Every structure is written in structure tokens, then in C-alpha cells.
Amino acid sequence: MLGYVKCEPESLLVRQHGLYRALYCGLCRSARRHFGLGSSPFHSYDFVFLAAARLLVLGESYTIEKHRCPTHPFRRRAMVADNSVLRDTAFCQLLLIREKMTDDILDRDTPFFRRLICRLWRPILNGELKRAAKQDGAYGELTGALSAAFAAGREKEKQGLGLDDMCADFAAILSRLASFRTEGKAARILAGLGDKLGRFLYTLDALDDLERDRKKGAFNPILSILPADGGAEAALAEIDAVQRFYLREMELALALADEKGDLAAICENVVVRGLIREERRVLEERKDHAV
């Protein structure tokens, strides 16, 4: 479910896009500094949105520094300076990457070399998670809770539960990640944001994998709600309406933040432009394949 949460760069101001990239590099640097190199090859823009949203809702200040990195050693790059928000977000990313690798290993349809890479790399991530848990009890508690939640979700997939049940499980996971180590109003806003983002992403990922899962006879909760004798376009339209509702709820949650400015513009761009663009792409592909 990684790879969907991106901005639309052409709709951002130059300084806003610069901040977006600085968050990306700062998050990667924070992960390497506190947890090791395990997540670096799989670092993506998905968690930049979470970092920006947490900074926005918590009202945390940030500074931009220039540092070199292993990927770009000859030129220093702008990065948001390391802070507690980036550190916690980097840990959440590490945890989700580990679970994604576990899913790929268990999925027999995953290409051989990808499964091999996951088998070789997952012990590295496990080691980083264990070290982090020893240093910070909150990390250990989150790791245990999320590992149990993902395991329960895999069992529910085996039982063939419906879309609403599966969405609710992933929504609970992202809600906990988004609101990790927050309280009060900020916790409520971030928990609601994570809940709706989780529902949106699970549905979008299921739509994206629909054709492949149908051909291979794999579990996909959307298959159970598509009519067998035509009328799939109406079902897709209903899913699209629910997805738009999730996006609207995310937009309203972000509007509750007291802080405004570039962070707010980045978060709004991801929700009302980036995520919508991804949904349109996936829906068009489903229509082209006649669902």
C-alpha cells in the first residue's frame, strides 16, 4: 500500500515543493541517524505526508539545513533538521516497510527475486526495530501492537471478510501510527486523518490489484461486491463516491489545525490533488480492462 501518497508538484509554489523535498531528505536522514540504514533503500514519499501533517497539527517549528547524503555525496542537499516528529515518523515508516516485506514474502504471487530481497533484508529491519524498542519503550509497545494488528488482518484475509472489515483494520493501524505519541486535540485530528487515509489506501490498493487477483484467484474484497453479470461501472461509481468522502474528511481534519502556511499547502495538495490523481489513474485502468 506504499506508493500512492504523493503531491502534485506543478500545483505547489517553488518554496513549498522545496520544503516537500527537504522533508523527504530530512526523514531519510533521521531514519539513518536513529535506526540504521535498513529503511533507506525503501524510503518513499508516502511518509512525507505523515511527517508534514504531524508537524502541522502539532504546531512544531522546524529548520532547514544542508547536509550530504550517501546517495548524493558531491552536493549538499536541503533537509529539514532532525527533530522528535521526524524521528517518530521515521520509526513508523520502518515498521510499515517491515510489514510490507512480510506480506510480500507470504504472497506466493510476488516475483521470486522480490521475495528473495525481502527475506534477506527483513532481518535487518527486525534488528533495527528491536534496538529501537530497547531504547524507547513506546517504540516497543507500538511494534507489538501493530505486529499483532497486521497478523490479525492476514487471518481475516484468509477468512475472506468484506471490504468494510478490511478497511477498518488498516484504518485502525494508520490511525495509531498518525497519532503516535500525541494527545488532546492533536491526537484526535491525527487519529481521524489516519483512519480515513487508511480506508482510502486499502480500497485503492484493492482496486489496483483487482485484475491480477481475479486472474490468480487471490483474495480481494472488492471482487465480492462486483456483480457477476455486468453492472460493474455502477459498483465502481459507488466506490469512487465513498473514496471522495474519505478525501473530504481528510481535508476537513487538516483544516482543524491551528497552523497554516506551507505545511498546510503541502498537506492539502497531497489530499485534494495527489490522492485524487492516483484514484483516477486506478479507476481508468479498471474501466479500460472492463473491470
Least confident of 178-187, 204-213, 272-281: 204-213
pLDDT at residue 114 greater than cutoff 70: yes
Which of 55, 64, 58, 61 has the alpha carbon at shortest distance from 26? 64
Percent of residues, the chain, with pLDDT higher than 90:
74
Q: Per-residue pLDDT averaged across 135-143, rounded?
A: 95
Helix or strand (DSSP H, E) at 80: strand 77-80
SS3 231: coil
User: What is the reported pLDDT for 124?
Assistant: 95
User: What is the reported pLDDT for 134?
Assistant: 94
Q: Outline where the chain has alpha helix (H).
A: 14-34, 46-58, 84-106, 112-135, 137-159, 163-178, 184-208, 210-216, 232-255, 262-269, 275-288
pLDDT at residue 291 greater than cutoff 60: no
User: What is the reported pLDDT for 230?
Assistant: 62
C-alpha span between 33 and 55 (Å, rounded): 19
Q: At what angle do helices 84-106 and 112-135 cross, to 10 degrees?
A: 140
Q: Per-residue pLDDT averaged across 9-31, rounded?
A: 96
User: What is the reported pLDDT for 86?
Assistant: 96
Predicted TM-score (pTM) of the model is 0.93
pLDDT at residue 290 greater than cutoff 60: no
Q: Per-residue pLDDT averaged across 119-141, rounded?
A: 95
How many beta carbons lie within 10 A of that of residue 138, not counting itself?
13
SS3 291: coil
Percent of residues, the chain, with pLDDT higher than 70:
97
- Average pLDDT over the chain reads 91
pLDDT tens-digit map of 216-251: 888 889 988 887 666 678 888 899 999 999 999 999
- The answer to whether 196 touches 250, Cβ cutoff 8 Å, is yes
Q: Which residue has the higher pLDDT, 73 or 104?
A: 104
Give burial (CB, 10 Å; 0-12/13-18/19+) of 290. Answer: exposed
SS3 94: helix
Q: Per-residue pLDDT averaged across 119-126, rounded?
A: 95
Which of 3, 80, 5, 15 has the alpha carbon at shortest distance from 49? 5
pLDDT at residue 139 greater than cutoff 90: yes
φ, ψ of residue 250 to 5 degrees: the values are -65, -40
Which of 250, 187, 244, 203 has the alpha carbon at shortest distance from 49? 250
- The answer to whether 38 touches 94, Cβ cutoff 8 Å, is yes
User: What is the reported pLDDT for 260?
Assistant: 82
- Identity at 220, one-letter amino acid code: N
φ, ψ of residue 157 to 5 degrees: the values are -60, -40
Q: Give the model's confidence band at 1: pLDDT under 50 very low, under 70 low, under 90 confident, else very high.
A: low
SS3 3: coil
User: Which residue ranges form the domains of the chain, and what is each CATH number?
Assistant: 9-288 (1.10.600.10)
Which of 1, 58, 20 has the alpha carbon at shortest distance from 183? 58
User: What is the reported pLDDT for 53?
Assistant: 96
pLDDT tens-digit map of 58-80: 999 999 999 988 877 888 999 99
